[in-house]
Amino acid sequence: MDHREFQNLALERLEDARALLAAKRYAGAYYLAGYAIECALKACISGLTMQDDFPPKDAARYYVHDLAKLLESAGLGARLREEAASNERFEANWATAKDWTEEARYGARDQQQAEALLAAVGDPQHGVLQWLRKYW
């Protein structure tokens, strides 16, 4: 996948998560909201590495589903800490989003959990996806 495909996928997965939330499909909404952040981080990495396609399979550090590791691979750890230090709402949103894992696809989530993650990811002013879009 190339840089732009990851960008589009991140935005599509957020919309998918919103649709699932509206349909009261909370586990799917939660999973896809987190997956939107994973895709956004991979868009940042793809742009950073200047690869036409996402880095090759032997680049194991990029082929993870751990948001904190992807954040560091994207070179955004220090920037995130700076933003969090100056923006309490963003800090709270990251605190919610960072706990998402790939294993979320197997677990049950309730309405409150799904709404919280969607708000953290999709907040147009202080959301994690909005912040990541500055760097992709």
Largest CA distance in the chain: 39
What is the 8-class DSSP label of residue 126? T
Cβ–Cβ contacts within 10 Å for residue 88, how many? Answer: 10
Structural contact between residues 118 and 33, judged by C-beta atoms closer than 8 angstroms:
yes
Q: Name the pTM for this structure.
A: 0.87
For residue 129 the two structure tokens come to 């996806």
Amino acid at 117: L
Tell me the per-residue pLDDT of 1-48, one tens digit each, with 9 for 90 and over.
788 999 999 999 999 999 999 999 999 999 999 999 999 999 998 887
Taken in order 69, 33, 101, 51, the sign of the CA dihedral is negative
Strand, coil or helix: what is 82?
helix
Residue corresponding to tokens 């709404």 = 115
Strand, coil or helix: what is 36?
helix
Q: Alpha-carbon distance 114 to 109, whole Å?
A: 7
Tell me the per-residue pLDDT of 114-130, one tens digit each, with 9 for 90 and over.
999 999 999 999 999 99
Amino acid at 120: A
